[in-house]
Structure 1
Amino acid sequence: MGRNRNGLRPMRPESKLRPDAREQGGETFKEHSMIRSPNMGRRGLIVATAAGLAMPSVLRAQGAWPERPIRLIVPWPPGGSTDAVARIFQPRLAEILGRPVVIDNRGGASGSIGAGEAARAAPDGYTWLLAYDTEATNQTVMRLPYKALEAFTPTCLVATGPLALVAHQSTPYRTYQDVVDAAKKAPDTINYATSGVGGLAHVSTTLLQQKGDFRITHVPYRGGGPAVSDAVAGHVPLFMSNVVIISQHIKNGILRPLGVTTRTASRHVPGTKSFAEQGVGDFEAPTWWMLMGRAGTPEPILARMSAAIRQAVQDPEVRQKIEEQGADVVASTPEEARRFLATEIDKWGGVIRSADIRADG
């Protein structure tokens, strides 16, 4: 099993878990030693002591975490792929941690609303974000009040998978080349849907158009759930999506796959070549899901969550369910997750700037 370009490979079920040291994405929370100086009188020492006692529970949480339910922000509406992946591993993760894991869907603005809320959370280990690939593209598409690599500590790249360009069964498009030919004859007349402006589905389709010298019209939706509903109903002829939310519709023939964004053909879409295999140069754009904690979360908490999420997604039943949805479990270390995210931000930032893709946010 080879590595992809980010140097990652899907972990095998028998791989042993080890909580590795984390790289912090921002400033860590530090205790202040109350050393009495010549200039500190009795009153000053009392004030300093009171301030220390009033500090948030971040420091106290290290020993007993978790003591209460854990909030998992899913920055997309129910019915999308991120929600689906979260709900697959949620019960096992809660079982391992010994506390409920409560999914909080905060959709809107291509995932940036939920991510922004997670970025404002206290770094106490009780709020986590299951980020989608848009977390990388949003860094360039939008003017965000935070930077992902500073606001968060990437904790685990949970899974990756192919995006697939699919056509409704009623359309005349049998191959990717059919779309290219039709678009060249009548530019901007063919619509394609994605889960939102500036997401990987949008940006990767933009790159396909640049490489193929054709133009089709983007129809962004507020999440994968609404988009797949219209695609299945035939209201939009083409849909670029992760396979997680369209695999069943591909199997029953309603949606016809024309190409996948992995470097080579994917086992999750049998009989469909990758775009690279269809002559689109050096093209690769896997979709992904990553668990991230707030920067500054105490190291012992990060270590425990890292081990717990890796154990959860490598559970045979959980792994099978995720892979049945059209994704491959990776279960990376925090260091691997951070490198992966940094690479994605840099890679797609260049495409976004060249195409002048922008979104309100």
Structure 2
Amino acid sequence: MPASPTFTRRRSLQAIAAASMAALGALASPAQAQGSFPNKPITIIVPFSAGGTTDILARIMSQGLTAELGQPVVVDNKPGAGGNIGAALAAKAPADGYTLFMGTVGTHAINQALYKKLPYDPVQDFVPLTRVATVPNLLVAHPSQPFKTVKELIAYAKAHPGKVTYGSPGAGASPHVSGELFRSMTGTDLLHVPYKGSAPAMTDLLGNQIAIMFDNLPSAIQHVRSGKLRPIAITTAKRSPELPDVPTIAEAGVPGYEATSWFGLWAPAKTPADVQARLYAAIVKVLKDPAVVKKITEQGGDVVIDTQAGFAAYIKAESAKWGKVVKDSGAQI
């Protein structure tokens, strides 16, 4: 029996309406997908062991970003090879905004000069978001060591070539290059002992297994305050407000010496622009929170907020600077 004209007309209208809804849905779905970010947990890869400055800063940021983004932001420590292992993992992660990388001057400005080949490209494989903080490095010694000043350390090292061991969070980390710069500028023969992060190196220093250490101030300051370590000098051009009685290496006997560590956040290359913008806005808001500023300052750091373009330019300049330092010092991996 043929369908009535009314029934046919109703079916046609329904089909047109369904097709229109499908078309609208297809048009809306990209916007909905973009607008829904984030809708699952975010991971910050840290390329050093727990307890070091990179880890400390990442955990401060993860707490703030969890509150700001409404999703858990967790820290995943992937130490080894001076930060190269964690950096390579982050570089190969999906570019969807759910993996971030807390990198350093080492991973993005020093390692390319120290290592013959990296398992990642610090420029091509990442999109820079912003620096998070800059911190001085601190030269500290076990209290049993027979030197208390930079001049006494230099004299002792020259009298005992190859016998003074200095630890660092890893080959290529800024404390390592700080030590190499010190060695080259003072003509001393210090023996570098690299670790997979600041925490294991600090454990050995506290146990007097190594004599001295160049470490980021946030990682070392608690042990200085407790009296477990002897502060010798700060690597930056100016003294730290957190340790005002500790001289700079330059004023303590090595004119022209200066080294600063910095830390920042990156996303994998090709992360969508709108996701980058969402992440950048959230990170900046966290870094402007007085409570976060206080936490970082109390650790001996200074909060830094860059534009994304400004951060990219800064990385380029730092790569040239530290590349020259590595070449002049003769440091090799």
Task: State the partner residue of 2:152.
Answer: 178
Counterpart in 2 of 1:205?
179
After TM superposition, list the pairs within 5 Å mapping 1:281-300 onto structure 2: 281-300=255-274
Q: 8 Å contact 1:157–1:331 — kept in the other structure?
A: yes
Conserved? CA contact 1:264–1:276, under 8 Å: no
Q: Which residue in 1 is equivalent to 2:67?
A: 95
User: Which residue number corresponds to residue 64 of structure 1?
Assistant: 36
Q: Residue 137 of structure 1 aligns with which residue?
A: 110
Correspondence for 1:40: none
Give the corresponding residue for 2:17.
Answer: none
Matching residue of 1:77 = 49
Q: Does 1:339 align with 2:309?
A: no
Aligned-partner Cα distance in 1 for 2:124–2:184 = 32
The amino acid of 2:89's aligned partner reads E
Question: Is the 2:150–2:253 Cα contact (8 Å) retained in structure 1?
Answer: no
Give a deviation string over 1:275-309, Cα, whole Å, max 9, x none. Answer: 22234232221111100011211111111111111
Q: Normalized against structure 2, the TM-score is what?
A: 0.86
1:127 corresponds to 2:99? yes
SS at match of 2:123: helix
Unaligned runs of at least 5 residues, structure 2: 1-25
Instruction: Find the residue that maps to 2:213 and give its secondary structure.
Output: strand
Contact 1:62-1:300 within 8 A present in 2 as well: yes
**The structure with more helix, counted as a fraction of residues:** 2
Q: Is the 8 A contact 1:157 1:290 kept in 2?
A: yes
Residues 285 and 101 (structure 1), Cα distance of their counterparts in 2 relative to 1, 3 Å cut: same
- 1:326-353 deviation line (CA, Å, top 9, x unaligned): 2111122212221222122111112223
8 Å CA contact 2:297, 2:303 repeated in 1: yes
Q: Which has the higher contact order (CA 8 A, sep 6+)?
A: 1
The superposition leaves residues 18-75 of structure 1 with CA deviations (integer Å, 9 ceiling, x where unpaired) of: xxxxxxxxxxxxxxxxxxxxxxxxxxxxxxxxxxx9xxx9998533211211111111
For 1:341, what is the secondary structure of its paired residue? Answer: helix
Give the letter for the 2:112 counterpart.
Q
* Aligned mates of 1:164, 1:329 — CA distance in 2: 18
For normalisation by structure 1, the TM-score amounts to 0.80
From 233, 244, 254, the counterpart of 1:280: 254
CA contact (8 A) 2:126 2:269 kept: yes
Deviation at 1:249, TM superposition (A): 0.7
| 1:328 and 2:302 are equivalent in the alignment | yes
User: Is 1:233 matched with 2:213?
Assistant: no
Instruction: Tell me if the contact between 2:224 and 2:230 (Cα under 8 Å) persists in the aligned partners.
Output: yes
User: What is the Cα deviation at residue 153 of structure 1?
Assistant: 1.2
Q: Which amino acid aligns with 1:133?
A: V
- Change in 2 beyond 3 A, CA 1:59/1:128: farther
Q: Which structure has the bigger radius of gyration?
A: 2
In structure 1, C-alpha distance between the alignment counterparts of 2:256 and 2:312, rounded to whole Å: 24
CA distance in 2, matches of 1:217, 1:318: 37
Identity of aligned residues (%): 39
Q: Is the 8 A contact 2:103 2:265 kept in 1?
A: yes
Asked whether the equivalents of residues 162 and 260 of structure 1 are also in contact (C-alpha less than 8 Å), the reply is yes
Deviates more, 1:153-162 or 1:269-278: 269-278
- Alignment coverage as a number of residue pairs: 304
Say yes or no: does 1:158 pair with 2:136: no
- Per-residue deviation at 1:194? 0.8
Partner amino acid for 1:66?
P
Q: Counterparts of 1:180 and 1:311 in 2: how far apart (Å)?
A: 45
